[in-house]
């Protein structure tokens, strides 16, 4: 008789979600985490005294609302702070683009650059929302096995086909352009529309944006979402899905709205950990799993770095495939073709994170006039010691991108194995809406930076290089907000090898494996293994290496628990 029914490796958000659902079903669960804090890449840490920083993930929208409800996470302190405006892009000519929830205001903002784009933007958003309506339900389902389908697999493929057809009938793509193209190509308009859905799921972001819009200011802003966490330029296939991935989700019922978590992202995983403990899950931190024990082709337990061993009927690993199958499992326990397929998983990555303590908020040359954001949002304003209010431009994601070519050029450097000379920087300042993060009058900010390849051609990630890349990022911001660099009190630079070492993310890949089409849905992590099972009986995957992939979603943990209970 085992002391535990299930051992979960890793207390990232997915491991904790998985543990909670198993415990809710009456299983005795032990969660083992190598770090001294729970949360994985969804964590808050006081890395500078008095400043609480979301060390890795910094915004949320994808986290499944059903999990918040099922585990009563609001009762455990989870509070989502909507970001509105959601995005602000200053330009060197003194103009700016500010987008948010208010559709009429978005249209006015875009009209500053192109009347045609302003007219088309609501259509574009509606199209993405309808595609999201097809794709989003698949996040909560186990993908079908297309290699050796059983009845259930065929049924779920049929369901997906029906959803696409339904969306097609509801005109996923606006009828006029689709009809026009259809006529030109000699296809009916339904074929043209379905083709465009497929293009979003498989194609490049840039040609899609180029077709929809003419203003480079708008396209540049939208294109930055297409490269988050991807080692790819917007002109490369697969980036349309990354862009689309970032418009799914919701905050407090509002679709596509990204939020901060009050207290930092770690409050979400702290809430999960509290819910887990109340469900009698045992969580041990500072406890590294060194080996997954097997007997024949069955998992029997884990061996820890301190030499202890624990047995259980089921093991769920929330670490990525390289860690799970190439470091923790004895290779002899795995079929050779599986091992080979695991060795081919793409972890290429070029994301770098800079966490910053700020003495004051940045002031932008374009200096937007305050918007009338209504009483609710005005209540979020707070005064810093000098008496300056955090303003709309500080609340969302601040983009620094004049046009799409800027991103392409930044990628060019990385393609040849060097960090971008002019990196693509996304700046967020969560303390602009959350006073719990920094001492009064001070702020925390984070820069998410592309492209910083893990593997460099002529260099290694020394401290000097990291400082140099951080200085390049600050120089980008400085152009639009002079004085920014002087306002920095402290900075922490996490290059891909640091992300790898800190969070055990192979190659520093923020998604536990690239989110390219060949590694998504029924092919995540590998074709034939998208059902959270592995060739070793009793060993499951429950982290973002599995469907539906990276991002703070909780779907992989919940889906895995469902499969483990179905056993
Ligand atoms: C820099 C960065 C920025 C990001 N920004 C965002 C964002 O803003 N929004 C968003 O939605 N997503 C973002 N992501 C992606 C998102 O954070 C991750 O996809 C998600 O947190 C992964 O959760 P997980 O539970 O699947 O895995 P992880 O969070 O990776 O958790 C796995 C856990 O397993 C532990 N572990 C590994 N090996 C062992 C072992 N041998 N023994 C014991 N424990 C082990 C690890 O320490 C870790 O705690 C970002 C990621 C990074 C790195």
Indicate which residue's Cα is closest to atom 38 of ligand 1.
319
pLDDT at 389: 60
pLDDT at 384: 38
Round to whole Å and give the CA distance between 262 and 390: 16
Cα of 333 from ligand 1 centre, angstroms? 26
Question: What ranges do the domains of the chain cover?
Answer: 4-81+264-346+511-566, 121-252, 347-503
Find, among 430, 432, 431, 420, the residue nearest to 475 by Cα.
420
Residue 11 CB–ligand 1 contact under 6 Å: yes
Residue 160 CB–ligand 1 contact under 6 Å: no
134: region left, alpha or beta (phi > 0 left; psi from -120 to 50 alpha): alpha
Q: Please name the helix (run of DSSP H) or strand (run of DSSP E) that holds residue 217, with its range, or none.
A: helix 216-223
Round to whole Å and give the CA distance between 205 and 538: 40
Q: Please name the helix (run of DSSP H) or strand (run of DSSP E) that holds residue 496, with its range, or none.
A: helix 496-503
Find, among 346, 301, 300, the residue nearest to 525 by Cα.
346
DSSP 237: T
Indicate if the alpha-carbon torsion angle 417, 421, 425, 431 is positive or negative.
Answer: positive
Round to whole Å and give the CA distance between 113 and 69: 42
Round to whole Å and give the CA distance between 424 and 448: 8
Cα of 512 from ligand 1 centre, angstroms? 8
Cα of 41 from ligand 1 centre, angstroms? 3
What residues does 255 pair with on adjacent strands? 250
Round to whole Å and give the CA distance between 42 and 53: 11
Cα–Cα–Cα angle for 380, 384, 389, nearest 5°?
50
Residue 317 CB–ligand 1 contact under 6 Å: no
Indicate which residue's Cα is closest to atom 6 of ligand 1.
57
Q: Please name the helix (run of DSSP H) or strand (run of DSSP E) that holds residue 450, with its range, or none.
A: strand 443-450
SS3 211: helix
Residue 9 CB–ligand 1 contact under 6 Å: yes
Residue 302 CB–ligand 1 contact under 6 Å: no
Identify each DSSP E strand in 245-391 by its residue range: 250-251, 254-255, 259-261, 282-284, 289-295, 298-304, 309-317, 351-358
Round to whole Å and give the CA distance between 101 and 225: 17
pLDDT digits (tens, 9 = 90+) for 463-503: 999 999 999 999 999 999 999 999 999 999 999 999 999 99
**Three-state DSSP string of 413-468:** HHHCCCCCCCCEEEEECHHHCCCCCCCCCCEEEEEEEECCCCCCCCCCCCHHHHHH
Residue 7 CB–ligand 1 contact under 6 Å: no
φ, ψ dihedrals at 356, nearest 5° = -135, 140
Residue 143 CB–ligand 1 contact under 6 Å: no
pLDDT digits (tens, 9 = 90+) for 38-53: 999 999 999 999 999 9
Find, among 558, 510, 519, the residue nearest to 59 by Cα.
510
Round to whole Å and give the CA distance between 264 and 235: 33
pLDDT at 193: 59
pLDDT at 377: 40
pLDDT at 385: 34
pLDDT at 413: 98
- Ligand 1 atom, smallest distance to 499 CA: 53
Find, among 22, 262, 257, 244, the residue nearest to 139 by Cα.
244
Contact assessment for residue 29 and residue 23, using Cβ atoms and an 8 Å cutoff? yes
Residue 318 CB–ligand 1 contact under 6 Å: yes
Fold entry, domain 4-81+264-346+511-566? FAD/NAD(P)-binding domain (3.50.50)
pLDDT at 386: 38
- Half-sphere exposure in the Cβ direction for 375 (13 Å, CA): 0
- Ligand 1 atom, smallest distance to 63 CA: 11
Residue 292 CB–ligand 1 contact under 6 Å: no
pLDDT at 503: 98
Find, among 213, 252, 233, 226, the residue nearest to 97 by Cα.
213
Contact assessment for residue 98 and residue 106, using Cβ atoms and an 8 Å cutoff? no
Round to whole Å and give the CA distance between 363 and 314: 54
Cα of 367 from ligand 1 centre, angstroms? 36
Cα of 548 from ligand 1 centre, angstroms? 14
Cα of 143 from ligand 1 centre, angstroms? 22
Contact assessment for residue 532 and residue 559, using Cβ atoms and an 8 Å cutoff? yes
pLDDT at 188: 44
Round to whole Å and give the CA distance between 198 and 191: 10
Preceding omega of 192 cis (within 30 degrees of 0): no
Edge-to-edge, what's the strand order for the sheet holding 397-399? 96-99, 87-90, 397-399, 424-428, 443-450, 351-358, 488-494
Find, among 33, 497, 468, the residue nearest to 288 by Cα.
33
Contact assessment for residue 456 and residue 420, using Cβ atoms and an 8 Å cutoff? no
pLDDT string in tens for the chain (567-residue length): 678 999 999 999 999 999 999 999 999 999 999 999 999 999 999 999 999 999 999 999 889 999 999 999 999 999 999 999 999 999 999 999 999 989 999 999 999 999 999 999 999 998 888 888 888 889 999 998 877 778 777 777 777 777 666 665 555 444 445 545 544 544 444 554 567 678 888 899 999 999 999 999 999 999 999 999 999 999 999 999 988 887 777 777 777 789 999 999 999 999 999 999 999 999 999 999 999 999 999 999 999 999 999 999 999 999 999 999 999 999 999 999 999 999 999 999 999 999 999 999 999 999 766 544 443 344 344 433 333 467 899 999 999 999 999 999 999 999 999 999 999 999 999 999 999 999 999 999 999 999 999 999 999 999 999 999 999 999 999 999 999 999 999 999 999 999 999 999 999 999 999 998 899 999 999 999 999 999 999 999 999 999 999 999 999 999 999 999 996
Residue 59 CB–ligand 1 contact under 6 Å: yes
Q: Please name the helix (run of DSSP H) or strand (run of DSSP E) that holds residue 87, with its range, or none.
A: strand 87-90
Find, among 507, 473, 264, the residue nearest to 354 by Cα.
473
Query: How many CB atoms neighbour CB 403 within 10 A?
Result: 17
Q: Please name the helix (run of DSSP H) or strand (run of DSSP E) that holds residue 449, with its range, or none.
A: strand 443-450
Round to whole Å and give the CA distance between 515 and 351: 14
């Amino acid at each position: 008789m085992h002391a535990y029914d299930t051992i979960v490796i890793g207390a990232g958000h997915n491991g904790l979600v998985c543990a909670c659902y198993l415990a809710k079903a009456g299983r005795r669960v032990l969660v083992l985490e190598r770090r001294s804090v729970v949360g994985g890449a969804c964590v808050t840490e006081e890395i500078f005294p008095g400043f609480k920083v979301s060390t890795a993930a910094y915004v949320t929208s994808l986290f499944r609302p059903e999990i918040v409800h099922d585990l009563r996470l609001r009762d455990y302190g989870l509070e989502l702070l909507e970001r509105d405006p959601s995005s602000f892009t200053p330009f060197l000519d003194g103009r700016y683009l500010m987008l948010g929830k208010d559709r009429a205001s978005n249209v006015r903002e875009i009209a500053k650059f192109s009347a045609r784009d302003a007219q088309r933007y609501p259509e574009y958003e509606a199209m993405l929302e309808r595609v999201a309506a097809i794709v989003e339900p698949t996040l909560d389902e186990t993908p079908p096995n297309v290699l050796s389908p059983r009845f259930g697999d065929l049924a779920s493929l049929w369901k997906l086909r029906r959803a696409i057809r339904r969306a097609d009938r509801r005109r996923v793509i606006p009828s006029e352009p689709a009809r026009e193209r259809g006529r030109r190509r000699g296809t009916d308009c339904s074929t043209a529309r379905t083709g465009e859905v497929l293009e979003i799921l498989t194609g490049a972001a840039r040609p899609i944006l180029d077709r929809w819009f003419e203003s480079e200011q708008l396209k540049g802003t939208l294109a930055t979402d297409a490269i988050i966490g991807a080692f790819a330029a917007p002109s490369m296939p697969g980036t349309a899905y990354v862009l689309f991935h970032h418009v799914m989700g919701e905050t407090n019922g509002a679709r596509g709205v990204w939020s901060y978590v009050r207290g930092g992202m770690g409050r979400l995983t702290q809430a999960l950990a509290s819910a887990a403990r109340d469900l009698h899950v045992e969580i041990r931190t500072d406890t590294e799993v060194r080996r997954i024990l097997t007997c024949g082709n069955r998992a029997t337990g884990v061996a820890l770095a301190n030499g202890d061993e624990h047995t259980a009927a089921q093991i769920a690993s929330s670490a990525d495939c390289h860690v799970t199958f190439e470091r923790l499992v004895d290779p002899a326990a795995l079929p050779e073709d599986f091992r080979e397929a695991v060795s081919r998983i793409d972890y290429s990555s070029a994301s770098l994170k800079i966490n910053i303590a700020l003495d004051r908020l940045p002031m932008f040359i374009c200096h937007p006039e305050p918007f009338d954001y209504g009483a609710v949002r005005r209540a979020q304003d707070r005064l810093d010691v000098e008496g300056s209010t955090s303003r709309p431009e500080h609340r969302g994601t601040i983009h620094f991108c004049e046009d799409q070519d800027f991103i392409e050029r930044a990628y060019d450097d990385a393609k040849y194995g060097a960090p971008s000379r002019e990196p693509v920087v996304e700046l967020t300042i969560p303390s602009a809406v959350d006073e719990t993060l920094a001492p009064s009058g001070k702020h925390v900010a984070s820069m998410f930076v592309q492209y910083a390849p893990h593997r460099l051609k002529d260099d290694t990630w020394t401290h000097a290089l990291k400082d140099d890349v951080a200085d390049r990022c600050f120089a980008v911001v400085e152009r639009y907000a002079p004085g920014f660099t002087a306002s920095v009190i402290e900075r922490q630079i996490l290059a891909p090898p640091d992300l790898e070492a800190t969070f055990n993310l192979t190659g520093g890949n923020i998604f536990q494996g690239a989110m390219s089409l060949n590694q998504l849905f029924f092919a995540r992590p590998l074709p034939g293994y998208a059902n959270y099972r592995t060739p070793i009986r009793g060993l499951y995957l429950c982290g973002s290496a599995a469907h539906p992939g990276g991002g703070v979603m909780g779907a992989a943990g919940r889906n895995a628990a469902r499969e483990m209970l179905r056993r």
